Amino acid sequence: MDNEYSKSGLNFPLLPVPKGNLTIPAVQDINAIAGLQSSIAPKLSFSLIIPTYNEGQNVPKIVNQLTKLLDEVLPGDYELILVDDNSPDETWKIAQELIPSYPQLQVMRRIEERGLSTAVIRGWQAARGEILGVIDADLQHPPEILLKLLAEIQRGADLAVASRHVEGGGVSDWSIIRRILSRGAQTLGLLILPGVIGRVTDPMSGYFLLRRSCLEGKTLSPIGYKILIETLGRGDVRWIGEVGYVFQERQEGESKVTSKQYVEYLQHLVRLRFARWPIARFFRFGMVGFSGVFIDMGIFYLLRNLGGLGLTRSGIISSELAIISNFLWNDLWTFRDISRRQPGKRKMLIRLLKFNLVCLAGLVLHILILNLLYNFLGMNQYLAKLIAIIIVTFWNFWINLKLSWRVTEIRND
């Protein structure tokens, strides 16, 4: 156990680092996760995590300011959990020495693990609060904003985010490069994960509070810095409140952000994209699409050979009948849970029309891709055809998910 009690000579024990998956426990289970025998930990209203790496100069100030603030509004009913990744400047020791003066302060020293987001989650795993929060240690996030964030949660919000991009928000002195990079990252996020990134004005914010119940029992697996995106991507967050704040200039120490964080951000987006991709529903959609190929080929054969119909007419009739069959199976099976909530013939007909339009647009896209790959890129015609089929299957699935069955909230079913 990472307990430096004896070694550091300081007689205030550090908080044990939870082990295993990054699953957020209910308050009554936190001791078990930390491998402690003792009884159930008493609940608190609020637990605020302060992730630190080489923040020795900032820690006394931030702990002092936060304590003054929270002693006013939540006397004895909150905890500050500082999670340090074994900083070379021994931030953990500086914090440990503060514990006698700040009874609400707890310090966790991670030796094997490293990274801002996972540090926050390890803190949340050990936290006893019904409301969980995170704030940077370098005073770039003004502590007084916490009161407004708490008020948002008390008003009923599941998540309260301090944002630089709403009224009263901004950054004090950022270079044009950093502004472009930050906005660029946000735009990229909107392309890959619109349903997550689009829910808040400042998805890159590292300053927010949330109800523990939004993450209880969820297993998180972030990469890098973006703990808010992970929370939105895997949590049950319904109502979101935002509070404007000005991101301050750092007084002491330096930012740990390097190009590595930008690569990790991209990896994180892709990981969440796949985690949130409704695999089972997509599999059913694929099966139905596959059955449609047989319907299409079978009817085409019958019309051509028994019906003696012309090529184009047979092709159009067989494709249309395959589209109708696909629609019926998708409505009855793939999207059963949604079509049941949109009962009646009329609504079903509208879904069929939309499905038809999307599939026809898919057909046009198919022809375009085929010609692009074969005629312009000189690709083998069968490989070009296969790639066109794969791309159009994703297109048909995604657009029908968004349009024909209007699934706004996508979940792995």
Residue ranges binding ligand GDD (CB under 6 A): 51-53, 55, 83-85, 114-116, 119, 136-138, 140, 204-206, 225, 247, 255-257
Residues paired with residue 105 on neighbouring β-strands, in sequence order: 80
Q: Least distance from C-beta 206 to Mn ion, angstroms?
A: 8
C-alpha 224/C-alpha 120 separation (Å) is 11
Q: Is 184 helix (H, G, I), strand (E, B) or coil?
A: helix
- Indicate whether 138 belongs to the interface with Mn ion (CB under 5 A): yes
Ranked by CB distance to ligand GDD, the top (closest) residue is 206
User: Of 116 and 269, which CB lies nearer to Mn ion in the complex structure?
Assistant: 116
Q: Which residues contact 118 (CB under 8 A, 6 or more apart)?
A: 22, 222
C-alpha 26/C-alpha 130 separation (Å) is 9
**Residue whose C-alpha is closest to residue 240's, from 161, 166, 134:** 161
Q: Which DSSP letter does residue 24 get?
A: B
208 binds, among Mn ion, ligand GDD, none (CB under 5 to 8 A by kind): none
Q: Which residues contact 297 (CB under 8 A, 6 or more apart)?
A: 318
52 binds, among ligand GDD, Mn ion, none (CB under 5 to 8 A by kind): ligand GDD
Q: Which DSSP letter does residue 18 get?
A: P
User: Of 72 and 254, which CB lies nearer to ligand GDD in the complex structure?
Assistant: 254
Q: In this structure, what are the phi and psi dihedrals at residue 282, rounded to the nearest 5 degrees? A: -65, -40
- Indicate whether 400 belongs to the interface with Mn ion (CB under 5 A): no
Q: Least distance from C-beta 60 to Mn ion, angstroms?
A: 17
∠ CA 148-151-157, rounded to 5°: 115
C-alpha 413/C-alpha 402 separation (Å) is 16
C-alpha 83/C-alpha 117 separation (Å) is 11
User: Of 62 and 369, which CB lies nearer to Mn ion in the complex structure?
Assistant: 62
Build a one-symbol-per-residue string for 29-68: x at contacts with Mn ion by CB under 5 A, - elsewhere.
----------------------------------------
Residues in the chain, total? 413
300 binds, among ligand GDD, Mn ion, none (CB under 5 to 8 A by kind): none
22 binds, among ligand GDD, Mn ion, none (CB under 5 to 8 A by kind): none
Write out the two tokens for 77: 């009913």
User: Of 189 and 362, which CB lies nearer to ligand GDD in the complex structure?
Assistant: 189
- Indicate whether 140 belongs to the interface with Mn ion (CB under 5 A): yes
Q: Least distance from C-beta 66 to ligand GDD, angstroms?
A: 13
119 binds, among Mn ion, ligand GDD, none (CB under 5 to 8 A by kind): ligand GDD
Q: Least distance from C-beta 277 to ligand GDD, angstroms?
A: 25
User: What residue ranges bind Mn ion (CB under 5 A)?
Assistant: 136, 138, 140
